[in-house]
Structure 1
Amino acid sequence: MANKKKLSAKESEELLSTLKVRFEKNMNRHKGIDWATVHNKLIAAAGAEKLWSLNEMEKTGGEPDVVGFDKKTGEFIFIDCSAESPKGRRSICYDHEALEARKEHKPNDSAIQMAFDMGIEILTEEEYRHLQKLGNFDTKTSSWVKTPSDIRKLGGAIFCDRRYNTVFMYHNGAESYYAARGFRGSLRV
């Protein structure tokens, strides 16, 4: 049986082409980083599962792009850069515990579980705010962000969006879900 978390050669080629076009179209997101270096890193040893995760981000509408480089670890940082919260990841509650707590009208999944299944991390508030410095995101939608454990223990979860040219952080019950709320993820390669 084939490894589920590996793309075919054709799928890899198509994804790399899509990522290259996006990279070159949005140079303001990754000043000082060249595509050839990113490409080589993607096809190197860490590539197979990482490419699969990037493809999952792409398939669910995330439009992942490079937004930084961690000098300490030597990793490129990809974040979902779709204008609005990814379409394939909306109408979900915050985590599995919240999903299980709902007695009726349960959503299909949770942000934390989907991110885990995709091999990515849900954005922190800090990462979300960094993304917003690169453009205007979530002007009509909102995105769950990693919630501090003290808030989560009390049943809450946090999400962010951009309104009135300002980035806001809000709270909601972790079990809530809305058609316009999803989550953005990050992946280090």
Structure 2
Amino acid sequence: MPRPRQRLPVFSSPNLIRQVSPVEKTDKKFMFLLCVLVVGIVGLSVVVFIAANLVGDQDYGKSEAQIALAKERLAPIGQVNVAGAAVAADNLVSVQAAPRSGVEVYNSICMACHDAGIAGAPKRGDKAAWAARLSQGKEVLYQHALNGKGAMPAKGGNPALSDAEVKAAVDYLIK
């Protein structure tokens, strides 16, 4: 009778011996280098953090003169007036600007449209274009300039102009 063959354990079977492929070697090498790189970056970050704390640990701006200057710069400019509190009238300054001439008003506002004839605006010096408008009367022209007409806003878009300044600009425009 033949002798029974002895069975080998599974892990020692020649078919199950694991061979390491070149791809696995490359993957292991990559993972090792990646770990070294991450540890190196973390280590460098710790060193930079410590160095920054050592160098930047100085007291700047702590002198009394610098603190006083900072308080002066940060002081409020004005104060809040509450209902019932007296308002300091002596601090108020009334500024009245001298009225501008018709030429100044025209050159600062009106010329933007009336020199180019934008949106049908009659050009300065165009007697034919102004003749039809002047036939309605100067007061109608003044009212159109003060209150606006068509694309032209009231007072040419500058509500700070006085009525006299607008009328002076109209007089200059129709010359």
TM-score between both structures, scaled by the size of structure 1: 0.19
Greater share of helix:
2
Greater share of strand:
1
